[in-house]
Amino acid sequence: MPTPPRVSTSFQAFIDEAPGHARAWMSAVEGLAQASALDPKTRALAYLAVVAAMRLTSGISFHVKHAKSLGARREEVVSAILVGLPAVGNGVTLALPEALQAYDEA
């Protein structure tokens, strides 16, 4: 069984230092996932696109490994990250090195 991806240091601090808030957050995340019409892999790839567009690189590794565990291919991860290129510019490329490293490690 694959090892679950590790969260970033900042998200782990959130879990450790504000467990009530973290449980409330995760409850909302789970509810939104259940309400989504997207399949889990597509949702994970879409989330990667948003994380890259927002330049939230601390979450890239976790979400890449999650997408891979759902069957995302390396090329799909790259495409998901770059899908925002026309809308938000080349800042999305900042996520590529970490994403590829995470994918290859998973």
pLDDT digits (tens, 9 = 90+) for 49-78: 999 999 998 889 999 999 999 999 999 999
Identify whether the C-beta of residue 77 lies closer than 8 Å to the C-beta of residue 48. yes
* Confidence check: pLDDT of 1 > 50: no
Give the global pTM: 0.83
Amino acid identity, residue 55? Answer: R
pLDDT of residue 3: 54
DSSP code for 37: S
Label residue 55 left, alpha or beta by phi (over 0 means left) and psi (-120 to 50 means alpha): left
Q: 3-state class of 39 per DSSP?
A: coil
Identify whether the C-beta of residue 64 lies closer than 8 Å to the C-beta of residue 102. yes
pLDDT digits (tens, 9 = 90+) for 37-51: 999 999 999 999 999
